[in-house]
Every structure is written in structure tokens, then in C-alpha cells.
């Protein structure tokens, strides 16, 4: 797997690169935000091999790490793991809302970091693609239909009345989870552990933010019902008219 390591401290980068290479990663090192953005852009001769994961240190010399995350997100769908010394809940939520897929606080355990890298890559499908299955070969399961909403799990596409609605990775994961069992109440902790794979405090707020943005992006405020004190459930709308 190719991994982009964004880290301005050469000592930290060298040590981490050595560990990652030992575990089979091809590491590309960027020392600042500009190099990171350049690394994900296609070359003049065509597409580079995509990265499976970006490890992004938030303390960079040239640009704010959060800004770099937002820009990476607009350029590529490669999952981003933020690495930072800031452990406060607000920083984590800010990072997740900018589209980071996970958040690791320094000092971290290398084993845990590797586990998170693999988990994020697996979820995004990068690992499977590396193993030989072409992306197009994903199972062509019929989309889940929820009234006017169609959720295609294999392509991660969502449409309302046939019109595609772009969602962030986590918004899609949340909708896909609820949509697989319409009418069933999912507990908050259950959703957080399924979608964010963590139980850190503060994700509760992040969950609310994602529910609100799904309701508004799909223009269907009643699609996801809040079950007070418990969690959420998806309510399939009755056909119009």
C-alpha cells in the first residue's frame, strides 16, 4: 500500500517511515502542506498510483494542518488520518468535520497507529483494490430504496428522485447503516462505534452534526427520526400524492 506521510520533523518522519516500510508500506514523505497537495495531484503524464492513506501531522510550517486536510479532501478521496498533539475534543470534532477519517494523538502507540491505518484503508476499499479486485468488480447489489432515496452500497452513491446527492464519507456510512434496517432504532453508541469505530467522548456531537447535514442535504428532515434519549431510526417516507 502507498502511504503519504505529511510530517515536518525529519527525525519523526524517518523513524515512522522505517516502521511503516517494515510493515510493507511504500512511504512518500511530504515535509509541508504544499508538498502534500502536490503529491496527490496527477502528474502531467497522467494519474499517479493512488495513496491508500494520508497520515497528516497538523503542526506544519507553511499551512494550517486543518486547511491542508480540507484541501486534500477536495482533491482526493484518499482517507486522511490526522496526527496531532492536540487531544481536546473540539480539535477532534473540527478535524472530523473537515473530512478526516480518524484522529491519532501524539504520543501514540505504533501498533495502534498501524491498526488504525489498516482499518481506514480497509473501510475505503483501498486494500481490496490492491489485492487485485478491480473497483468495478464490486458486487452490483441493487440499491437500497427508501421512497425517493436510493442508496448504492457498492458505489457509495446516493440519489433522491434520481438526482445524485454528494455526501461525505461519514455521512454516507451513517445513512447506509440506518438504511439497511429501516424502522429499527439504532442506539447512539452503536452508531458511533459502527461509523466512527471509536467511543471517544465528543463524537456524540459529531453524530448530531452529521444527522443534521444528512437531513438538509437530502432535503428530507423527517427521513432520520430522533428517538429521544436512545438514538436514531430511518423512516421510509410514504409515496407522495
Using the minimum distance from each CB to Ca ion, give the nearer residue, 68 or 218.
Answer: 68
177 exposed, middle or buried (CB, 10 Å; 0-12, 13-18, 19+)? middle
Residue among 39, 97, 103 at smallest CA distance from 72:
39
- Residue 48 CB, shortest distance to Ca ion, in Å, is 25
Sheet strand arrangement including 53-57 = 26-30, 2-6, 53-57, 80-84, 102-105
Cell of 25: 508500506
Closest residue to Ca ion, based on beta-carbon distance? 59
- Complex with Ca ion: residue 65 or 148, whichever CB lies closer: 65
Closer to Ca ion at the Cβ: 57 or 171?
A: 57
Instruction: Decide: 26 and 2 in contact? Cβ < 8 Å.
Output: yes
Q: How far is the CB of 107 from Ca ion (least distance, A)?
A: 13
CB 3 → Ca ion: shortest distance, Å?
17
1 vs 56, beta carbon nearer Ca ion: 56
- Nearest approach, Cβ of 7 to Ca ion (angstroms)? 6
Rg (CA), the chain: 19
Residue nearer to Ca ion on the CB measure, 8 or 34: 8
Residue 38: closest CA among 68, 82, 7, 8: 68
Q: Considering the complex, what minimum distance in angstroms separates the CB of residue 60 from Ca ion?
A: 6
Q: Which residues bind Ca ion (CB under 5 A)?
A: 8, 57, 59
Query: Nearest-CA neighbor of 173 among 209, 116, 224, 124?
Result: 124
Amino acid at each position: 500500500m502507498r502511504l503519504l506521510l505529511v510530517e515536518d520533523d525529519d527525525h519523526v518522519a524517518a523513524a515512522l517511515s522505517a516502521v511503516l516500510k517494515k510493515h510493507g508500506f511504500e512511504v512518500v514523505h511530504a515535509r509541508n502542506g504544499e508538498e502534500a497537495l502536490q503529491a496527490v495531484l496527477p502528474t502531467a503524464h497522467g494519474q499517479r498510483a493512488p495513496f491508500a492513506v494520508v497520515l497528516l501531522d497538523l503542526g506544519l510550517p507553511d499551512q494550517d494542518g486543518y486547511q491542508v486536510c480540507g484541501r486534500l479532501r477536495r482533491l482526493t478521496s484518499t482517507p486522511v488520518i490526522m496526527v496531532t498533539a492536540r487531544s481536546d475534543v473540539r480539535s477532534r470534532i473540527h478535524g472530523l468535520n473537515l473530512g478526516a477519517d480518524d484522529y491519532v494523538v501524539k504520543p501514540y502507540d505504533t501498533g495502534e497507529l498501524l491498526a488504525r491505518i489498516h482499518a481506514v484503508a480497509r473501510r475505503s476499499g483501498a486494500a481490496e483494490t490492491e489485492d487485485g479486485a478491480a473497483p468495478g468488480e464490486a458486487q452490483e447489489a441493487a440499491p437500497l430504496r427508501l421512497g425517493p432515496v436510493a442508496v448504492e452500497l457498492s458505489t457509495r452513491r446516493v440519489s433522491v428522485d434520481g438526482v445524485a446527492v454528494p455526501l461525505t464519507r461519514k455521512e454516507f456510512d451513517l445513512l447506509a447503516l440506518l438504511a439497511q434496517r429501516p424502522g429499527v432504532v439504532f442506539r447512539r453508541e452503536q452508531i458511533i462505534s459502527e461509523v466512527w469505530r471509536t467511543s471517544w467522548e465528543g463524537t456524540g456531537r459529531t453524530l448530531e452534526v452529521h444527522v443534521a447535514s444528512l437531513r438538509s442535504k437530502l432535503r428530507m428532515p423527517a427521513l432520520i427520526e430522533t428517538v429521544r434519549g436512545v438514538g436514531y431510526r430511518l423512516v421510509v417516507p410514504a409515496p407522495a400524492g
